[in-house]
Amino acid sequence: MSAHATGRSSVRRSVTAGVPLAVVAALVAACPPASAASQDAHVVRTATLGNIPLGAFSNALLPGTVDDDRGINLGGIGSDIYPAGRKGEFWTVTDRGPNGQIKVDGTKRRTFPVPGFDPAIVKVRVSGDSVKVLQAIPITTSSGKAVTGLSNQAGRDEAPYTYDAKTLLSYNPNGLDTEGIVRAKDGSFWLVDEYGPSLVHVSARGKVLTRYVPKGLNLKGTDYPVVEALPAIFLHRKINRGFEGLAQLPSGDLVMALQSPLSLPDGDAGDASRTTRLVRFSPKKKAATAEYAYRFDPVDVVDPGEDDTSELKISSIVAVGDDRLLVEERTDKAARLQMVKLDRHSSILGGAYDNDKTSPSLEQLDDPAASGVPVLRKRLVVDLGKVAGVPGKIEGIARVDHDTLALMNDNDFGMTDGAGAFDAQGRLIDSGIKTTLTYLRLPHSI
């Protein structure tokens, strides 16, 4: 994962936010066979983020929010990536911050070693073999306070504990587990969050303008406006598997991807399912306008040797033209990029499978298409697991030019799960995994 540059006179057609994306209209028809795409795609450049103490980073944005960073450096900015308008520059977003799991009395507890950490939008530039931070914007409430990354609701979200899993922390309804990011033409940002799951509109300075959540969530006590505008069916999201991907279509519409199948009618059904969902949202109408069924490939196709279907997830979606998306299907060890087209006749919004009383549920159907459900058609673009030099756990993907993608991994702030993540003094034993931005050149235009 060390950085270096090779290939065709660098990536001179590099980052160009605002370039019309309709140039990819013929992609689906022209997409090469999967084997050829995977064999010919290659890494042309990598760059890594250096060590930036998390406490210093956080307190420079919002003084006094972090009193002890436990030796953790800035990380997690690969939760998503979006072109920032100049060559080599990108907007990124952290997730909820350093977190892990420790088993206590046979039950896993979610730990927040730096509970004062505030999710941030981070602008970066690729400079040689380094990723440089140009700007950071804290995500704040209406009164300018940190939203934090803490769990929102007892009984619905994971209970938050201290780094050693011994002390229960307070829930915070303002907390956001941010994942996807896009930037609107007016300079504001749109983010998605796993807790609600929710769509969050944030000002250019980081203030939450509105958080859109599923109908019936009943989230109280926030220091910003909350609007129940998303389908109620998403109340059944699996814990820690809410909205993970976000794309902005040329029309301005937004598309959110649910990371994993809903727990319908229960967790066992969700874990066994290969059908997740996408939602289309109109910022103009402030409403969901479509919902789509997305079908994962079998888990052993995505990740040969893996047999646990619940490991399948979507981590990123990218708009590459009118109603066309790149969708990343992955496990923690493998990832593949699929191309889909959002057919207006494929929406299930308001239908039988947008109702949690329908039995069997969409998630329980072995073959949704055979049952009359309009499942999105897809075609494999590249198998990232077959491309040398691509890091694991890619969560951020951006289109750089007609045949190049920028990929960014989530390094989890250097954390691992288990009681051994920290030493006897409560300092992080770093995993050594770096935040890496990778340029990937494809054999055909997209």
Question: 17: helix, coil or strand?
Answer: coil
Q: Which residue has the tokens 């436990």?
A: 70
pLDDT at 38: 52
The answer, yes or no, to whether residue 4 has pLDDT greater than 70, is no
Q: Which residue has the tokens 């909820």?
A: 96
The answer, yes or no, to whether residue 195 has pLDDT greater than 60, is yes
The tens digit of pLDDT for each residue in 87-123 reads: 999 999 999 999 999 999 999 999 999 999 999 999 9
The answer, yes or no, to whether residue 234 has pLDDT greater than 60, is yes
Work out the mean pLDDT of the chain and round it to a whole number.
Answer: 92
Whole-number Cα distances in Å, 298 to 150, 200, 272, 307, 330: 33, 32, 11, 9, 11
pLDDT at 3: 39
pLDDT at 293: 98
Quick check: 439 and 11 in contact, CB under 8 A?
yes
Residue 425 CB: number of other CB atoms within 10 A? 7
Q: pLDDT grade, residue 344 (50/70/90)?
A: confident
Please choose, from the candidates 217, 246, 243, the residue with its C-alpha nearest in 3D space to the C-alpha of residue 229.
217
Token pair of 28 as six digits: 């689906």
The answer to which of 37-51, 52-66, 390-404 has the lowest mean pLDDT is: 37-51
Q: Which long-range contacts (CB under 8 A, 24 or more apart) does 421-427 make?
A: 421/100, 421/102, 421/163, 422/70, 422/113, 422/163, 422/164, 426/70, 426/163, 426/164, 427/70, 427/71
Token pair of 172 as six digits: 């915070």
The answer, yes or no, to whether residue 170 has pLDDT greater than 90, is yes
The tens digit of pLDDT for each residue in 149-167 reads: 999 999 999 999 999 999 9
How would DSSP label each residue in 128-156?
TTEEEEEEEEE-B-TTS-B--S----BTT
* Full-model pTM: 0.90
Q: pLDDT grade, residue 34 (50/70/90)?
A: very low
Whole-number Cα distances in Å, 93 to 82, 181, 261, 262: 9, 7, 24, 25
pLDDT at 248: 98
E strand residue ranges, 265-334: 275-282, 287-295, 313-319, 324-330
- Tally: H helices and E strands in the chain: 5, 24
The answer, yes or no, to whether residue 31 has pLDDT greater than 80, is no
pLDDT at 39: 60
Per-domain residue ranges of the chain? 21-441
Q: Which residue has the tokens 């977190």?
A: 99
Token pair of 194 as six digits: 């796993």
What's the CA gap between 146 and 138, in Å, rounded?
A: 7
Three-point CA angle 253, 259, 262, nearest 5°: 105
Percent of the chain with pLDDT over 70: 91
What's the CA gap between 173 and 171, in Å, rounded?
A: 7
Residue type, 110: R
Q: pLDDT grade, residue 174 (50/70/90)?
A: very high
The answer to which of 6-20, 31-45, 338-352, 404-418 has the lowest mean pLDDT is: 6-20
The answer, yes or no, to whether residue 19 has pLDDT greater than 60, is no
Residue 270's H or E segment, with its range, is helix 267-272
The answer, yes or no, to whether residue 139 has pLDDT greater than 70, is yes
pLDDT at 28: 34
Q: pLDDT grade, residue 24 (50/70/90)?
A: very low
